[in-house]
C-alpha cells in the first residue's frame, strides 16, 4: 500500500534545486527529515534476471521492501523506456510491464522515447492502467494545446512535500516511428523545466526532475544542460543515454543521477531536508552483483510466470537454428557491422530483390545464442514490429544515408548504418557529412546520379534516426514485418 498521499497531479514540467531557508517560507514547517529515492531507467522489458541483463524486478522488489522496512520515506521512480523491449512486454504492447511495475510498487515514472513505440494512444492507455502517475510536462497535444500526461505530481511523505515533474527527450520525434508521435509537439526541456521550477518551487520541500534526456554525444539537449541552465532542481533522475553514474554528478543547484540500463543497477539516493539548511543528498548504485545476495520476491516471480505462460503459446515455437552467436550487442551494432546486422540486411535483399539494403543499429536489440532459435528470440532482436519498404533512391541519396549513419562514429549511435549490397569506405577525421570516400555497389563504383532500389524498415523510410533524405522518395514496394522476413531467410 502506498504511504504517500497524492496532493496535486497538475502542472507543466519538471526541475529541482538546493535553496536557503528563506526559500521554504511558503511551505509548512517540518522537523528535519530524510527521503530515500530508488530509481531505474531504460529497463527495456528486462523484467527477469538474466545472464547478460540485470537483477530483474523480483530482486528490485525485495531491495525496495528491505529499504522501506528501515526508512519511513522511500520513493521508487522510473525514468522511462520501460514498456517496450523484450518479448515478455511487447506481446502485450506494454501491459505486462505495467502489471509488474504496479506489483513492485513504483511511485512515478516519465515516458522515454521507446514508450511511444506503440503509439500515443497506447501510451495513454498504459498510463491509465498504472497505479502510479506517469508524468510529462513537455509533450503537448497540438489539438488541445495541453500536455498529454499529467505534468507533475506532489507527494506527501509524512509531511515532507515532494514535487516530481517529467521531461521526455525531443529526440523522440525521430527515435520512434514518426507516426507514433503525429500531432504532438515536444517542447524545449530547458524552457519547460524553468516553468516547472517557477510553479512548484515554493509549494514543495524537495523538487525532483524525472527525465528521459541523457548525457551522451548523440543528445542535443542533455540533462546536464537543463541542470546548468535551470536553478531550483534538487535531484534530476535521468535516463536515455544508458549511463552509469556511480555517485551522481553535481550540476547547477542539484544532483544528477542515472542507473545505467537493463536494471543492471538500482539507483539509491539518500536525501535529507532541513528548513534551516535545505537539501543534501548522496547517491550510489546497488549493483547486480550485490543483488545476488537477495532472495527474489516470490509474488513478482509468480506474476511473471503467469505472463510467460500466456506468451509461450507464441514465443516457444522454434523457427530456426544457428551454429554461431549472432551478435546484436548494443555497443557492437551501434559502432560497426556484426554478423546479425549483415544477416538482416541480406534478408532484406533476399525477399525484396533490391539493389541495396539498410538497417539501423538501434533497431537491433539483442543477440541470439547458438542452437535452436525461437520466435521469441527473433522478436526480442527486432521488437518494433517494423515492416519492410523498398524505395527508389539516387546514388546521392545513398551517400547521404551513409553519411548520416556514420556521422557520430566512433561514438555509439542508434543510427549507425548496417548495409547490404554495397561496401563503403570513409575517413573519420573529416567533418561529419563529408566522410565517405568510396562506395561500391555490385563491384562497381556508385553512380551519384544513378537510380537504385533501397530496402529498409518503415521507421527509417519515414525519416527515423534522422534519415530525412529517405522521406518523399518513391515507394517501389511494401513487404511484411522485419522479424518474419528474418525467420524466412534463416530457414532458407
| Residue 21 binned pLDDT confidence (cut-offs 50, 70, 90) | very low
Percent of the chain with pLDDT over 90: 83
Q: Determine the pLDDT at residue 130.
A: 98
Show the domain range for 407.
316-491
Q: Is residue 137 a contact partner of residue 8, using CB atoms and an 8 Å limit?
A: no
Q: Determine the pLDDT at residue 87.
A: 80
Name the strands in the sheet holding 356-360, side by side, starting at the edge strand that comes first in the sequence. 417-420, 356-360, 451-457, 387-394, 475-481
- Specify whether 392 is located in the same domain as 482: yes
- Specify whether 333 is located in the same domain as 418: yes
Q: Which residues, at least 6 apart from 14, have a Cβ–Cβ distance to it below 8 Å?
A: 110, 135, 137, 151, 152, 164, 165, 166, 167, 192, 193, 196, 208, 209, 210, 211
Q: What is the dihedral of CA 148, 149, 151, 155, to 10 degrees?
A: 170
- Specify whether 406 is located in the same domain as 264: no
6 has pLDDT over 80: no
Bigger pLDDT: 88 vs 123: 123
- Specify whether 276 is located in the same domain as 337: no
Q: Is residue 196 a contact partner of residue 151, using CB atoms and an 8 Å limit?
A: yes
β-strand partners of 278: 274
Mean pLDDT of 337-365: 97
Q: Is 242 exposed, middle or buried (0-12, 13-18, 19+ CB in 10 A)?
A: buried
Per-residue cell: 268: 539509491
Percent of the chain with pLDDT over 70: 95
Residue-wise pLDDT for 384-436, tens only, equals: 878 899 999 999 999 999 999 999 999 999 999 999 999 999 999 999 999 99
- Specify whether 344 is located in the same domain as 487: yes
Residue-wise pLDDT for 478-491, tens only, equals: 887 899 899 999 98
- Specify whether 300 is located in the same domain as 330: no
- The domain boundary, picked from 308, 334, 358, lies at 308
| Residue 25 binned pLDDT confidence (cut-offs 50, 70, 90) | low
Please give the sequence-ordered ranges of beta strands (E in DSSP) within 74-131, or none if there are none: 74-78, 108-109
- Specify whether 65 is located in the same domain as 132: yes
Rounded distance between C-alpha atoms, residue 3 and residue 249, angstroms: 29
Mean pLDDT of 61-77: 96
- Specify whether 128 is located in the same domain as 248: yes
Q: Which of 78, 8, 5 is nearest to 37 (CA)?
A: 78
Residue whose entry in the numeric block shows the C-alpha cell 527527450? 169
Mean pLDDT of 109-125: 96
Residue-wise pLDDT for 216-260, tens only, equals: 887 889 999 999 999 999 999 999 999 999 999 999 999 999 999
- Specify whether 471 is located in the same domain as 423: yes
Residue whose entry in the numeric block shows the C-alpha cell 530457414? 491
Q: Determine the pLDDT at residue 4.
A: 43
Q: Is residue 349 a contact partner of residue 420, using CB atoms and an 8 Å limit?
A: yes
Q: Is residue 405 a contact partner of residue 416, using CB atoms and an 8 Å limit?
A: yes
- Specify whether 140 is located in the same domain as 234: yes
91 has pLDDT over 70: yes
1 has pLDDT over 50: no
Q: Determine the pLDDT at residue 323.
A: 95
182 has pLDDT over 50: yes
Count of structural domains, the chain: 2
Looking at every residue in the chain, the average pLDDT score rounds to 92
- Specify whether 302 is located in the same domain as 347: no
We report the CATH number of the domain holding residue 350 as 3.90.780.10
23 has pLDDT over 80: no
Residue-wise pLDDT for 299-344, tens only, equals: 999 999 999 999 988 889 899 999 999 999 999 999 999 999 999 9
pTM exceeds 0.85 for this model: no
Rounded distance between C-alpha atoms, residue 88 and residue 159, angstroms: 39
Task: Give the Cα-Cα-Cα angle 265, 268, 274 (nearest 5 degrees).
Answer: 170
| Residue 473 binned pLDDT confidence (cut-offs 50, 70, 90) | very high
Residues in the chain: 492
Q: Is residue 478 a contact partner of residue 390, using CB atoms and an 8 Å limit?
A: yes
Mean pLDDT of 60-66: 98
- The domain boundary, picked from 274, 291, 308, lies at 308
Write out the DSSP string of 236-261. EE--SS--B-SS-EEETTEEEE-B-S
Instruction: Measure the N-to-C terminal CA separation of the chain; round to a whole number of Å.
Output: 53
Mean pLDDT of 356-384: 95
- The domain boundary, picked from 274, 308, 342, lies at 308
Rounded distance between C-alpha atoms, residue 215 and residue 210, angstroms: 14
We report the CATH number of the domain holding residue 199 as 3.60.21.10
Mean pLDDT of 124-140: 98
- Specify whether 213 is located in the same domain as 334: no
Amino acid at each position: 500500500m502506498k504511504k504517500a498521499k497524492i496532493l496535486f497531479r497538475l502542472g507543466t514540467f519538471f526541475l529541482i534545486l538546493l535553496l536557503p531557508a528563506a526559500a521554504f517560507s511558503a511551505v509548512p514547517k517540518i522537523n528535519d527529515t530524510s527521503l530515500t529515492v530508488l530509481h531505474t531507467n531504460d529497463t527495456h522489458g528486462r523484467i527477469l534476471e538474466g545472464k547478460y541483463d540485470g537483477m530483474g524486478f523480483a530482486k528490485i522488489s525485495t531491495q525496495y521492501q528491505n529499504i522501506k522496512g528501515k526508512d519511513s520515506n522511500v520513493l521508487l521512480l522510473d525514468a522511462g523506456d520501460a514498456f517496450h523491449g523484450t518479448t515478455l512486454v511487447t506481446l502485450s504492447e506494454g501491459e505486462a510491464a505495467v502489471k509488474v511495475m504496479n506489483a513492485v510498487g513504483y511511485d512515478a515514472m516519465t515516458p522515454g522515447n521507446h514508450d511511444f513505440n506503440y503509439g500515443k494512444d497506447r501510451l495513454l492507455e498504459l498510463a491509465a492502467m498504472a497505479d502510479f502517475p506517469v508524468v510529462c510536462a513537455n509533450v503537448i497535444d497540438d489539438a488541445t494545446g495541453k500536455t498529454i500526461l499529467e505534468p507533475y505530481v506532489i507527494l506527501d511523505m509524512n509531511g515532507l512535500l515532494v514535487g516530481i515533474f517529467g521531461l521526455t527527450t525531443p529526440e523522440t520525434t525521430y527515435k520512434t516511428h514518426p507516426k507514433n508521435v503525429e500531432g504532438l509537439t515536444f517542447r524545449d526541456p530547458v524552457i519547460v523545466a524553468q516553468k516547472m521550477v517557477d510553479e512548484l518551487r515554493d509549494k514543495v520541500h524537495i523538487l525532483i526532475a524525472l527525465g528521459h534526456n541523457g548525457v551522451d554525444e548523440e543528445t542535443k539537449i542533455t540533462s546536464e544542460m537543463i541542470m546548468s541552465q535551470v536553478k531550483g532542481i534538487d535531484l534530476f533522475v535521468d535516463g536515455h543515454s544508458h549511463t552509469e553514474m556511480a555517485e551522481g554528478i553535481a550540476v547547477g543547484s542539484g544532483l544528477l543521477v542515472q542507473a545505467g540500463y537493463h536494471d543492471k543497477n538500482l539507483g539509491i539516493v539518500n536525501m535529507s531536508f532541513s528548513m534551516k539548511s535545505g537539501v543534501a543528498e548522496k547517491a550510489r548504485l546497488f549493483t547486480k552483483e550485490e543483488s545476488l545476495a537477495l532472495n527474489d520476491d516470490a509474488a513478482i516471480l509468480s506474476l511473471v510466470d503467469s505472463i510467460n505462460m500466456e506468451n509461450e503459446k507464441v514465443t516457444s515455437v522454434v523457427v530456426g537454428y544457428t551454429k554461431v552467436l549472432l551478435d546484436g550487442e548494443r555497443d557492437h551494432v551501434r559502432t560497426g557491422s556484426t554478423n546479425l546486422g549483415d544477416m538482416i540486411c541480406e534478408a532484406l535483399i533476399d525477399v525484396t530483390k533490391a539493389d541495396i539494403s539498410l538497417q539501423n543499429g538501434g533497431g537491433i536489440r539483442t543477440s541470439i545464442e547458438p542452437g535452436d532459435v525461437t520466435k521469441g528470440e527473433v522478436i526480442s532482436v527486432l521488437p518494433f514490429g517494423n515492416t519492410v519498404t523498398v524505395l527508389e533512391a539516387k546514388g546521392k541519396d545513398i551517400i547521404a544515408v551513409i553519411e548520416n549513419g556514420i556521422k557520430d562514429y566512433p561514438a555509439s549511435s542508434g543510427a549507425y548504418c548496417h548495409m547490404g549490397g554495397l561496401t563503403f569506405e570513409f575517413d573519420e577525421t573529416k567533418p561529419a557529412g563529408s566522410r565517405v570516400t568510396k562506395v561500391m555497389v555490385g563491384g562497381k563504383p556508385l553512380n551519384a546520379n544513378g537510380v537504385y532500389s533501397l530496402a529498409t524498415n518503415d521507421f527509417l523510410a519515414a525519416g527515423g534516426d534522422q534519415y530525412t533524405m529517405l522521406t518523399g522518395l518513391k515507394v517501389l514496394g511494401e513487404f511484411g514485418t522485419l522479424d518474419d522476413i528474418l525467420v524466412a531467410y534463416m530457414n532458407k
